[in-house]
Amino acid sequence: MFEKEFIAHTSEINDKIQTVREHSINTAEKAERYAIDEFKELAYLTGIYHDIGKYRSDFQKLIKGISNKRVEHAIYGALAVKEDYNNKINDALNKIMEVCIAGHHGGLPDYGSKSDIEGSSLYARMHKPIDEECKIYLNELKDEIESIDFETITKYYNEYLKEDCLKGDQYTNRLLIGKYAFLGRYIYSCLTDADYNDTAEFCAGQENKELKADFRDCLDKINVKFASFTPKTKLQKARSVMQKQVFNQVNDDAEIYCLPMPTGSGKTLCSMKFALERAIIKKKRRIIYVIPYNSIIDQTASEFDNIFGKSNFILRHQSTFSYEDANNFTEDYRNDIKFSTENWNADIIITTQVQFFESIYGNKKSKLRRLHNIADSVLVFDEAHMIPEEFMQPCLESIAILTHYFHCEAILLTATMPGYADLFENYAIRGLKVKNLISNEDSEILDCITTFKKCRYKNAGKLTDDILLDECSKYPSTLIILNRKKDAQRLYNMAKGRYKAYHLSTYMTAYDRRRVIAKVRSELAELNDIKENEIDIVDTERIVVISTSLIEAGVDLDFYTVYREQGASAGLEDLLQSGGRCNREGTREDSVTYAFELIENADKPLQGEKPVLTKMILEKYGEGVDSAEAIKDYYDNLYSIHNKRLEAKNICSLFPQETKVLSIPFKSYADSFKLIDGNTVSIVIPDEQNAELQELIEKLRNGYPDVRKLQIYSCSVNRSEFDDLLKQNVVKDYGTGVFCLTNASYYSKESGIKFDAEDYFL
C-alpha cells in the first residue's frame, strides 16, 4: 500500500503512516518554536536534517516489515550536514549540528579527534561517505533547506561566541569552551524534544500540553497571604521591614539577585513573590525553584500548593515523588504531568539541584530535553551555598550563561551568602549585573538582622562522649550533630535509657526518619509548653536528638541547645545551619549553639580548610560568627584557599587535552558530572507490618523492582560497609541490582542498619 512512500513512523492506533518529509518538517518547526530568537534558524536547520538516514532502503525495509535487521540512521543526517555546509558556515558550527543529529537517539557523543578511525566518537563515525540513497532529501526537502538564512545563523553564532571571549587568556578560553558546549546541548535539547513530541503526537495521539499557572493570580494570592500577617512582635516587625526592602526593588533590572535573609525571616515566600513580580514584568515563560534536598521540596511544595490552590499547577520533579500515586488526578491529566515532567513543560517547577544541573550537563535526551525549557525563566536557588565546592565553577557558569545569553534571571537565597558577585566575576562571566536585595549598609536592616540572632555561638573545645552526654542534663532539649554516622549511632546507644533519646541518620530509612522527626516535633511542642525557668526536670524527660548533618536543612525543629561537631568537612555554614535549629522560635534569651571536637575523632589536629577556618572565625568574632562580616571573611578565605578545588569539575580541568572547540567530550563529561557522591549503596529494609512494602519486595524477588517506591524504605551505606554486609550474606538483589536486607536482626527502626548480628548460633 505504501510502497512508494518514504516512511518515518507508523501508527498502531489508526494504521496511518507519517512520511520522512512530514516528520522532518514538523520536527524542524517545533525545534524552531522551542529555541530563543537568536538560535531559531539553527534549531530549524538541525531538525530538517535529523532523519535523512530514514530515506535509506535498509531503514525502509525495516519499517515496512520486509526486514528485521537493525539499522543506524542518525549518522547520515550528520554526514549530509558535513557535505552540504562544509564551505557555507564554519566547521565549529557544522559540528554542533553534526553532533546533535548523530546523537539524537543515543546521546551526545564525545567529538574525539580527526585521527579517530574506530569507536563511538563523532569523528570515528563520520569517516563513511554519505549514502547516495539518502540524497533523496535534496528533492524532498529542497524548499525547506533553501529557505534557511545562513547569514542570520552565522551572525548570531559569531556574536554569541565572541562576546566576553576576545582576550584569549585562560579565563576567556574556558568561557569559550563552556559557551560552545552549552549551545551544543541547547540545540540538542530543542531537537530531541521536538523529535520526541512529534513522534508521540503521531504514534500515540499524545499532545504535550503545558501545565498552566496564572502568575498574576498566584501573585494576588501570595499578596493576600502577606497581607494576613500583622507584625506585632519585634521579630515579626523586623521580618516585615526586610521583606519590604526586597519588594521595593522589584523594578530594578539585574541578571543575578542575591537574597541573604536570615533563617526564619520568610525568605521562601519572599523569593516566590519577587520571582512572580519579575516574571510578570519581564514576561518570563516559567519559574523554576531549585532546592538542594528532597526533604525541603516536600514542605516548600506543600506551602505553595496551599497558597496558590488547585487552579495553579506546580510541577514537582524529584526522585522520591511520583504523580502516579496521586489519587486526585484523572488518568489523562496524569499522562500530561508525566510528559511535562520529562521536559519541564510547565509554568512553575520545583526541582532539586541534582535534577537542574544534570539537565544542563547531561548528554542523554532523557535529561537534556528539559534544557530549552529552562531558557527565558526566573530561576530561584534556595540554600544556594549548598552547591558542592568542586562543582562551583560549572554551576555558576551555567547560571551566568542562562542569565546573560538565554534570557533568564536568577535569585540566589541563603542565610549564609558567599560573595557571589566576586565568584561570578572570577569563575563565570565578567561584568554580570549582580544585585543584593538586602543591604548590609542600611542601619535599619542591620537592626533587623540582629533581631534574628536567636542564639549565641561558642566554642566548647574538645569533648568526650561521656562529657557531651553529661552536658545534656543541663537543658530540657538538646540537639547533637555529628559528622560520622557510626559516631551518631554509638552516642545514641549510650544516651537511650538515660534521656528521651532519638537518632537520625541515613543508616535509617527515609520512612523511619520521617516517623522519628514527627515524634520529636510532637515531644518538643509538649516540652516547650513548660515555662522557661522550669528546666529542673528529670533526665528521662529531657529530649536528646543525636543526628548527622541531614537535620541542618529543611527540618524545622526547635531545641534549647545545639552542639555541632567540627572536623571532617564541616564549616561555618554548617555551624550556622545547625544554629537554625536552636531557639528557632526565638522564645528564649539564653540559647547557645556550641562548636566542639569529639575527642574520639580528635587525636589529631583539625584537618581540612573548613574546620580550621571555622575555628579561626570563632576565635576572631566570638559570638558574632553569624554576622555578615564574619561570613564574608570565612568565604573569602575559603575560596582563596580552594581556588583550584572550585574548578575541579570544570570541563577544561577534567579533560585538558580534549577541550578545544572541535574536540568537546560531551559524553565523558556528562558521565563525570555527578553532584551526589556515587560511593554509596542503598539497601531496602523489609518490614513485615507494612503491607505495601511487602508487596514491593515480592515484586523485587520476582525480578520487577519499583526502584522509586522502594527509595523511602531504603537506607544508605558506603561501599566498604556494603561489601561487609555482602560477605556476611545478609543482603541479596535477586538478580535485579536492587539490594534488600535478608536478616531482620541487622536493622533497628530507632538506630538504623547494623553491621553485626545481635545473636549468633553454632
**pLDDT surpasses 80 at 641:** no
**pLDDT surpasses 80 at 225:** yes
Q: Are 337 and 206 in contact (CB under 8 A)?
A: no
Q: pLDDT tens digits, residue range 22-77?
A: 999 999 999 999 999 999 999 999 999 999 999 999 998 999 888 888 888 999 99
Phi, psi of 613 (to 5 degrees): -65, -40
Q: pLDDT tens digits, residue range 716-743?
A: 999 999 999 999 999 999 988 899 999 9
608: left (phi over 0), alpha (psi -120 to 50) or beta: left
Same domain? For 33 and 50 the reply is: yes
Name the H helices within 85-210.
91-102, 122-125, 137-140, 142-146, 150-162, 170-204
Taking alpha carbons only, the member of 183, 35, 33, 212 closest to residue 99 is: 183
**pLDDT surpasses 60 at 690:** yes
Same domain? For 53 and 158 the reply is: yes
Q: pLDDT tens digits, residue range 568-595?
A: 788 999 999 999 899 887 788 889 999 9
The 3-state DSSP class for residue 504 equals strand
β-bridge mates for residue 559, sequence order: 582
502: left (phi over 0), alpha (psi -120 to 50) or beta: beta
Same domain? For 531 and 479 the reply is: yes
**pLDDT surpasses 70 at 328:** no
**pLDDT surpasses 90 at 675:** no
What percent of the chain lies above the pLDDT cut of 70?
Answer: 93
Query: How far is it, in rounded angstroms, from Cα 49 to Cα 418?
Result: 46
Handedness of CA 670, 674, 680, 684 (dihedral sign): negative
Q: Are 94 and 85 in contact (CB under 8 A)?
A: yes
Higher pLDDT, 587 or 275: 275
**pLDDT surpasses 70 at 331:** no
Phi, psi of 748 (to 5 degrees): -125, 135
Q: Take residue 282 and report the three cell numbers written for it.
A: 519581564
β-bridge mates for residue 133, sequence order: none
Q: Which amino acid is at 685?
A: I
At residue 140, the pLDDT reads: 93
Query: How far is it, in rounded angstroms, from Cα 226 to Cα 222?
Result: 6
Q: Per-residue pLDDT averaged across 237-261, rounded?
A: 94
316 domain residue, yes or no: yes
Taking alpha carbons only, the member of 492, 466, 490 closest to residue 479 is: 492
484 domain residue, yes or no: yes
Q: Take residue 735 and report the three cell numbers written for it.
A: 538478580
657 domain residue, yes or no: no
Q: Which amino acid is at 62?
A: L
Return mean pLDDT, the chain.
Answer: 89
Name the H helices within 549-683.
572-579, 609-621, 628-641, 643-646, 651-654, 666-672
Same domain? For 143 and 25 the reply is: yes
Same domain? For 291 and 369 the reply is: yes
300 domain residue, yes or no: yes
The 3-state DSSP class for residue 385 equals helix
At residue 456, the pLDDT reads: 92
At residue 760, the pLDDT reads: 46
**pLDDT surpasses 70 at 420:** yes
Q: Which of 161-175, 413-427, 480-494, 620-634 has the lowest mean pLDDT?
A: 161-175
What's the CATH number where 43 sits? 1.10.3210
Same domain? For 262 and 177 the reply is: no
At residue 106, the pLDDT reads: 93
Taking alpha carbons only, the member of 256, 300, 570, 575 closest to residue 421 is: 256
Same domain? For 82 and 175 the reply is: yes
Among 445, 464, 483, the domain-final residue is: 445
Phi, psi of 428 (to 5 degrees): -130, -100
Q: Residue 98: give the domain boundaries.
A: 7-204
Q: pLDDT tens digits, residue range 537-547?
A: 888 999 999 99
What's the CATH number where 229 sits? 3.40.50.300
Length of the chain in residues, anyone? 762
Among 590, 625, 660, the domain-final residue is: 625
**pLDDT surpasses 90 at 453:** no
Binning pLDDT at 50, 70 and 90, where does residue 129 land?
confident
Q: Are 751 and 489 in contact (CB under 8 A)?
A: yes
1 domain residue, yes or no: no
Number of domains in the chain: 4
Q: Per-residue pLDDT averaged across 632-643, rounded?
A: 85
630 domain residue, yes or no: no
Higher pLDDT, 703 or 293: 703
Task: Please state whether beta strands 739-741 and 731-732 pair in parallel, antiparallel, or not at all (unpaired).
Answer: antiparallel
Binning pLDDT at 50, 70 and 90, where does residue 679 land?
confident
At residue 640, the pLDDT reads: 82
The 3-state DSSP class for residue 9 equals strand
Same domain? For 221 and 337 the reply is: yes
Same domain? For 421 and 342 the reply is: yes
Binning pLDDT at 50, 70 and 90, where does residue 1 land?
very low
Q: Are 216 and 280 in contact (CB under 8 A)?
A: yes
Cα–Cα–Cα angle for 711, 713, 714, nearest 5°? 65
Q: Per-residue pLDDT averaged across 2-21, rounded?
A: 83
Binning pLDDT at 50, 70 and 90, where does residue 532 land?
very low
Among 177, 204, 231, the domain-final residue is: 204
At residue 441, the pLDDT reads: 75
759 domain residue, yes or no: no
Same domain? For 320 and 224 the reply is: yes
659 domain residue, yes or no: no
Same domain? For 186 and 227 the reply is: no
Same domain? For 190 and 263 the reply is: no
Q: Per-residue pLDDT averaged across 393-411, rounded?
A: 97
Task: Please state whether beta strands 256-259 and 714-718 pair in parallel, antiparallel, or not at all (unpaired).
Answer: unpaired
Binning pLDDT at 50, 70 and 90, where does residue 117 land?
confident
At residue 283, the pLDDT reads: 97
